[in-house]
Amino acid sequence: ETGVTQTPRHLVMGMTNKKSLKCEQHLGHNAMYWYKQSAKKPLELMFVYSLEERVENNSVPSRFSPECPNSSHLFLHLHTLQPEDSALYLCASSHDTARGYTFGSGTRLTVV
């Protein structure tokens, strides 16, 4: 365990389903991130939250909706996804004065 926990580890969902990914960190970090890793592509930053406020949204489609209720928890709400959204979704956290990012184990999402 790295200190950043993601659930579920695997998720298969239909295009009409609604599901949520969860990320939790107990490292005392004040920033959290969602990254997407598709096959044969670099990791893409999706969302950044600093002190529970969204500070960056990299033109992500509205079918992905993040939520950060407190500095330890981050969610990614999913609805009406497309098959091309199938990917590994990674959560990370950092502290603005600390030494780098810590990643969770990821959620492998398959949209059918």
Partner 1 sequence: GIQVEQSPPDLILQEGANSTLRCNFSDSVNNLQWFHQNPWGQLINLFYIPSGTKQNGRLSATTVATERYSLLYISSSQTTDSGVYFCAVRRSYNTDKLIFGTGTRLQVFP
Residues near partner 1 (CB under 8 A) = 2, 31, 33, 37, 42-43, 45, 48, 50, 55-56, 88, 90, 92, 94, 96-97, 99-103, 105-106, 108
**What does residue 6 show for φ and ψ, rounded to 5 degrees?**
-115, 140
**What's the closest the beta carbon of residue 44 comes to partner 1, in angstroms?**
9
The structure tokens listed for 63 are: 């079918």
CB of 47 to partner 1, least distance (A): 10
CA distance 14 to 83: 9
Q: Is the CB of 83 or the CB of 99 nearer to partner 1?
A: 99
DSSP string, 17-28: -EEEEEEEE-S-
Which of 3, 12, 2 has the alpha carbon at shortest distance from 107? 12
Q: Closest by alpha carbon to 74, among 24, 1, 2, 5? A: 24
For residue 28, the minimal CB distance to partner 1 (Å) is 15
- For the bound state, the minimum distance from the C-beta of residue 52 to partner 1, rounded and expressed in Å, comes to 12
